[in-house]
Amino acid sequence: MREFHPQDLDDVALGAALLGTGGGGDPYIGKLMAQEAIRKHGPVRVMELSELDDDALVVPVAMMGAPTVMLEKLPSGTEATSAFQALEAYLGRKIDAVLCGEAGGLNSTIPFVVAAENNLPLVDADGMGRAFPELQMVTFTLEGVEATPLTMADDKGNAALMNTVNNHWTERLARSLTIDMGGASLIAFYAMDGATAKRSAIAGTVGLAADIGRVIRQARRDKQPAIEAARKLLGGYELFSGKITDIDRRTEGGFARGTAKLDGVDAFSGKSFEIEFQNEFLIAREAGGTVLCTTPDLITLLDADDGEPVTTESLRFGFRVVALGIPSPARWRTEEGLELVGPRYFGYDTDFKPVEAQHSSGGSA
């Protein structure tokens, strides 16, 4: 096991913001919460997925809701552990380890809070390898793991326990309750044994987030191009470089939805681009034309100057950004994976094409 101390969360949060593909919740807020929990309760032990005992009880935790809500409605700090302990009480058995629901934004750092406050190890794995907007969109679903029983809590002290007929109904009903809770809640779900976690989770994503953050930070320190350093680490491709010229963003149905339009700069001057999002960036294309990258591959926007990941709620007119397309974990590229998280699920009239099949090996569009 590796111990994570408060300073380690700087890299985790930075890398998780990139893996969050625009969503996953405000990584800065999550980082502060995790650092405070570690200072109070001690370092968090992060264990490899393979180290789990087959009969261990493992529970993921996550935030549910629209990232835009987090700009004005900060968590009280007790919600995640409240939901976690409520699920433990319902199951009638001590939980042995914490797992990330998704490897993105705040949802990569909130599990550190729960692990620290409950003196439990955090598993170096998650259920997405990135962030997706709906809670059934996890590799656990592909392996037949049930999302319920699910517990949820809000900042006012409300809590709920839910059992549903399938994971799509879990998303639908939990989303409705999250809206009533003010647009954001903390949840504990997908309780499973260690053998199931080893079969269904995506290994190494907490460590990957830390590696991404460290590479970006090191590049800045050495005055090297941070975006290129991240691109090389992840085997990604530069989709375009541009300036944001228009944003249509709204909080709707418990999600941050919208479109960002950009004018190309530098090598992409004279072209226009657009990115559509539902919490996360789902499709990038030339305006009215060629698709450059789609879900489940990762689309991430980075500040052109320092490589800082740009989230959907922080998009602003005039921002200069570089868009990277990054290959997704192989499980999402299967027929079953694409049915769950592919472009047609979100209503786009296009088939998935791997980002590496669309762009040159040199990394540019």
Tell me the average pLDDT across 202-224. Answer: 97
pLDDT in tens, 287-346: 878 999 999 999 999 999 999 999 998 899 999 999 999 999 999 999 999 999 999 999
Give the model confidence (pLDDT) of 106-147 as tens digits: 899 999 999 999 999 999 999 999 999 999 999 999 999 999
Selection from 250, 293, 324 nearest residue 68 by Cα: 250
Q: Determine contact, residues 242/262, Cβ cutoff 8 Å.
A: yes
Neighbours of 49 (CB within 10 A): 21
Please say if the pLDDT value at position 361 is more than 60. no
Q: What pLDDT is recorded for position 29? A: 86
Closest to 91 in 3D by CA, of 126, 56, 50 = 56
Note the pLDDT of residue 71: 64
Indicate the pTM of the whole model.
Answer: 0.94
* pLDDT score of 360: 65
Torsion, Cα 315 316 320 326, to 10 degrees, reads: 10
CA distance 284 to 316: 17
Q: How confident is the model at residue 363 (pLDDT cuts 50, 70, 90)?
A: very low
Looking at residue 70, its pLDDT comes to 67
A 10 A CB-CB count for 125 gives 29
**3-class DSSP state for residue 237?**
strand
> Looking at residue 67, what is its pLDDT?
75
pLDDT band at 24 (very low <50, low <70, confident <90, very high): confident
Pinpoint the residues of the chain covered by CATH 2.40.390.10: 225-358
Given a cut of 80, whether residue 355 has pLDDT beyond it is yes
Q: Is residue 213 over pLDDT 90?
A: yes
Q: What is the pLDDT of residues 147-184, one digit of tens each?
A: 999 999 999 999 999 999 999 999 999 999 999 999 88
% residues pLDDT > 90 (the chain): 86
pLDDT of residue 255: 87
**Would you say the C-alpha torsion 333, 336, 341, 343 has a positive or negative sign?**
positive
The ranges of the chain annotated as CATH 3.40.1610.10 are 2-205
The predicted-structure confidence for 267-288, as pLDDT tens digits, reads as follows 999 999 999 999 999 999 998 7
178's tokens:
């999250």
Report whether pLDDT(69) > 80: no
Higher-confidence residue of 78 and 11: namely: 11
Q: Decide if 340 contacts 137 (C-beta within 8 A).
A: yes
Topology given in CATH for the domain delimited by 2-205:
CV3147-like fold (3.40.1610)
- What's the pLDDT band for 364 if we cut at 50, 70, 90? very low
Question: Does the domain spanning 225-358 belong to CATH 3.40.50.300?
Answer: no
Q: What angle do CA 199, 204, 207 make, to 5 degrees?
A: 160
Largest CA distance in the chain: 62
Q: What is the mean pLDDT of the chain?
A: 94
pLDDT > 90? residue 1: no
Task: Inform me whether the pLDDT recorded for 362 exceeds 60.
Answer: no
CA dihedral 243, 246, 250, 254 (to 10 degrees): -30
